[in-house]
Amino acid sequence: MSELALILYHKQSTSARLRFARFGDSVVAARIEAPADEAVRPHPGPLTASAADRMGLPAGALQIDPEFEADMLSPSGTLSVRLAHFTDIDPPFDAVASAQGRFVSITEMRGIPDTERDVLRLVYEHVIG
């Protein structure tokens, strides 16, 4: 089996301020196991459902970015990383805090694993353009 991982962000529509959901020393909001068959590309829907459930958010509160996918090394092997954004106008601070998380900018990412920081740089470039 391989694993899928999810990174969450919120981009303010009025100011374009970009914040990431950080959970302790990681930006991974959810992980699920996926079929090992490389020919089958797993749907990322269960990732958003898992993350929304973790934070007590309704089903439509997260939206997958279908154009982003990256690989990240982890102690358990290679993770396929997907990206989703919060759909509310304002970041759901309380929901993220209820999952022991917080919103941070990319400059506040000290202390996360180097492999996550490398993927986060790709995410930042993808979102900002």
Residue 39: the pLDDT is 66
- Please count the other Cβ atoms lying within 10 Å of the Cβ belonging to residue 1: 10
Residue 2: pLDDT above 80?
no
Q: pLDDT averaged over the chain?
A: 90
Provide, rounded to the nearest whole percent, the portion of the chain with pLDDT above 70: 94
- Inter-CA distances, 18 with 40, 42, 56, 67, Å: 32, 27, 22, 18
Mean pLDDT of the 21-33 span: 92
Tens of pLDDT, residue by residue over 69-109, are: 999 988 777 888 999 999 999 999 999 999 999 999 999 99
Q: How many CB atoms lie within 10 A of CB 116?
A: 23
> Which helix (H) or strand (E) covers residue 46, if one does?
helix 45-55
3-state secondary structure at position 38: coil
Domains and CATH numbers, the chain: 2-128 (3.90.79.10)
d(CA 51, CA 30) in angstroms, rounded, equals 5
